[in-house]
Amino acid sequence: MSAADDDFWDDLFSHIRERQLVPVVGPDLNVVDLGGRAQTFSAVIGERLVEKHGLTVPPGETSMSDAVAAYLRVHGQHEADRLYRDINNIIARLDPEPGEALRNLAAIEDLRLFFATTPDRLLAKAVNDVRFNGRPIAREIAFSPAQSTSEQSQNAHAAGPSETVVVNLFGRSAATPQFAIHDEDRLEWMHALLSDTASLPGWLNHQLKDCALLFIGCEIPDWVGRFLLRMSTNRRLSVEQKQFFFAGCTSQYEPSLSNFFDTYCRKSQVQQRDVPPTEFVAELKARWDSESGPRRPHTTTPGRSPLGGASPEIFISYMREDAAAARRLRGAIERLGGEVWLDERTLLAGDDWNAEILSAIRRTVGLFVPIISANTERVDEGYVFREWHEAIERSHTIQGRRFIVPVIVDDDYSGDPSAYRTMLDRFGHLHFGRAPGGEPDDDLTAALTLAIRAMRRSDDAA
């Protein structure tokens, strides 16, 4: 192995270990197996478009971009809207499983933020399959110049330290033009990234500018490569210190872009590997496993959700004084078939744990159960109230099912919630359940059963 190879891997792994590397994944890494034939999903989409519209294309593999360009040359830009529907239908109808390459990348768990340049969900599916046993835990963000105010507000919440995020930089497939399918679209997306009305959330922009970037299997014409590099830095490229890595990207076959790197960037700043992207990721995983040991499957012990692991669907929020009642309530819900997170670490302090809990409430849990008692009534501050605040904020975005089920656990509760004035200020619009000492009565048991079924229907529909 050459000294340059050693430097490449040493530099790359040092960024991964510090969680300061962000992969940017392109279409050449999105290899799928359909009918026993392994090919990029972009090529699959391209073939379907050529067949549907009778397009004339050069011999060889036709990418989605190639097919779109061929269609526009014949029909013109005014007919482009049809292509968004066609591509969305192809992606939804085929819905392939992610291939080994994406799974290999997802297995490196010190990578917590990914950018995908394709409109499919293959990368997010790979992350969920490999890290979370198929549960939809990874946070998915799709950027679009036409993003709604509510989407921008939702995306503005910074990710927690244990959260994994997948960003579709050029949008995710839809029946309308909410995603990029050709170079003119991508130009518009990049223009929007610099605007005040549709830019990336501040926390994502911070990550993009501060972390080293690894481009894998990307389609990078000269103008895109120069723009992406400058957009992801705080200073001129000639004086920038952060590193960029390219593996299996078309930039290596763009002589003018390579010449730009050689002329204006430090030698160690931009490092390239001329190797097929799937082979590169296989080598990356093998080397990482050799250094760090193979990935250990997540395990969930009762009452715990491991950092970075899959969060159970029901979260019980409680004060330490109500721990015994909370444990009995957990047992009752589990007997109904619910998966419960009763995190006993809340009895201790810990910034990482707290961040994980708040992130799960904002993003992943399906039902939030705050325990109400004389103990919660007699205090006016505490960490538990932060959990309640996050749940109330999220409840405003959920329609069609119950998300918050407050439960009063005092043995002497008479059925009149007016004794809990402080709690009425927060949950007064909700029906209170009763679980004396943590044992739910018949009405609460029925309500919890219905809520669990509603969550399951929601998961099946997703």
Let me know if domain 314-461 sits in CATH 1.10.10.10: no
Tell me which residue has tokens 């950092």: 307
Q: Is-contact 102 166, C-beta < 8 A?
A: no
Confidence class for position 246, pLDDT limits 50, 70, 90: confident
Residue with the larger pLDDT of the pair 309 and 449: 449
Residue by residue, DSSP assigns 290-327 as: HHH-PPPPP---TT---TTSPPPSEEEE--GGGHHHHH
- Per DSSP (E only), the strands in 126-174 are 139-142, 165-168
Helix then strand then coil, in percent of the chain rounded to 5, is 50, 10, 40
Q: For position 43, what pLDDT does the model report?
A: 94
Confidence class for position 13, pLDDT limits 50, 70, 90: very high
Question: In this predicted model, what pLDDT tens digit does every residue of 58-93 receive, in sequence order?
Answer: 888 899 999 999 999 998 887 888 999 999 999 999
Question: In this predicted model, what pLDDT tens digit does every residue of 284-308 receive, in sequence order?
Answer: 999 999 887 554 444 333 333 433 3
Distance CA 310, CA 315 (A): 13
Question: In this predicted model, what pLDDT tens digit does every residue of 146-169 receive, in sequence order?
Answer: 777 667 777 777 777 678 899 999
Show the tokens assigned to 107. 């297995």
Which one-letter amino acid corresponds to residue 456? R
Q: For position 4, what pLDDT does the model report?
A: 66
Question: In this predicted model, what pLDDT tens digit does every residue of 324-376 receive, in sequence order?
Answer: 898 889 888 988 888 888 765 544 444 444 666 787 788 888 899 999 999 88
Show the tokens assigned to 314. 């029901």
**Distance, C-alpha 166 to centroid of its chain:** 4
Q: For position 202, what pLDDT does the model report?
A: 81
CATH of the domain spanning 3-30+98-292: 3.40.50
Q: For position 300, what pLDDT does the model report?
A: 36
Q: For position 77, what pLDDT does the model report?
A: 80
Q: For position 310, what pLDDT does the model report?
A: 45
Q: For position 256, what pLDDT does the model report?
A: 65
Q: For position 281, what pLDDT does the model report?
A: 96
Distance CA 45, CA 220 (A): 19
Domain ranges of the chain: 3-30+98-292, 35-92, 314-461
Q: For position 305, what pLDDT does the model report?
A: 40
Domains 3-30+98-292 and 314-461 fall in the same CATH topology: yes
Q: Which of 431, 379, 436, 443 is nearest to 406 (CA)?
A: 431
Q: Which of 166, 107, 163, 164 is nearest to 142 (CA)?
A: 166
Question: In this predicted model, what pLDDT tens digit does every residue of 366-425 receive, in sequence order?
Answer: 899 999 999 888 887 777 888 888 899 898 888 777 889 999 999 988 777 788 877 788
pLDDT > 50? residue 280: yes
3-class DSSP string for 22-65: EEEECHHHCEEEECCEEEEHHHHHHHHHHHHHCCCCCCCCCCHH
Q: For position 309, what pLDDT does the model report?
A: 42
76 phi-psi bin (left φ>0, alpha ψ -120 to 50, beta other):
left
The average confidence (pLDDT) of the chain is: 82
Tell me which residue has tokens 């952060």: 242
Q: Is-contact 163 112, C-beta < 8 A?
A: yes
| 159 backbone dihedrals φ, ψ, rounded to 5° | -70, 145
Q: What are residue 270's DSSP bridge partners?
A: 244
